[in-house]
Amino acid sequence: MAKNKVVLADGTVLIDLTGDTVTSAADIVSGKVGHLKDGTQVTGTLTFQTIYSGSSDPSAGTGVNGDIYVKVVS
C-alpha cells in the first residue's frame, strides 16, 4: 500500500506528501516517474505540442504531428 506520510516514533515527520498537488499521471511530464499526493508511484503522461515561429515557411524536418507554426512577416 502506498504511503504518503511517514512519522517517526518521536513525532518527527520524515516525509509528507499530503500537501502536494500531484493528483494524476497527467500532472507529470510524459515518461517521468513521480508520486501522487497519496503516495502512489506513477509514470507521467503529460505531453506538449510545440508552437514554432519564423518569417519563412516551416521546414519539413521541424516539429511533430500536432505542432503549430506561426509565420510572421518581418
Partner 1 sequence: MGTSVILPTTYTTDGSSFYVRDPSYMYTDISSTTHAEISSYSYDKKAHYVYLKGFDLSSAVPAGMQVDSVTVQANVEFQNGLNTSTGSYPALCNGTTVVANASVSGNIYTFSGLDWNTISGYGDDLSIRLCHRKKNAYSSVALYVYGAQVNVEYSESGGSDAIYIKQNGVWTEAAAVYKKIGGVWTEQTDLANVFDAGVNYVSE
Placement of cell 515561429 in the chain: 53
40 binds partner 1 (CB under 8 A): no
Q: Are 44 and 28 in contact, with CB atoms under 8 Å apart?
A: yes
Grid coordinates belonging to 41: 508511484
Residue placing its CB nearer to partner 1 in the complex, 7 or 24: 24
The distance of closest approach from Cβ of residue 24 to partner 1 in the complex, given in angstroms and rounded to an integer, is: 14
- Separation of first and last alpha carbons in the chain: 58
Near partner 1 by CB under 8 A: residue from 3, 5, 32, 71: 71
70 binds partner 1 (CB under 8 A): yes
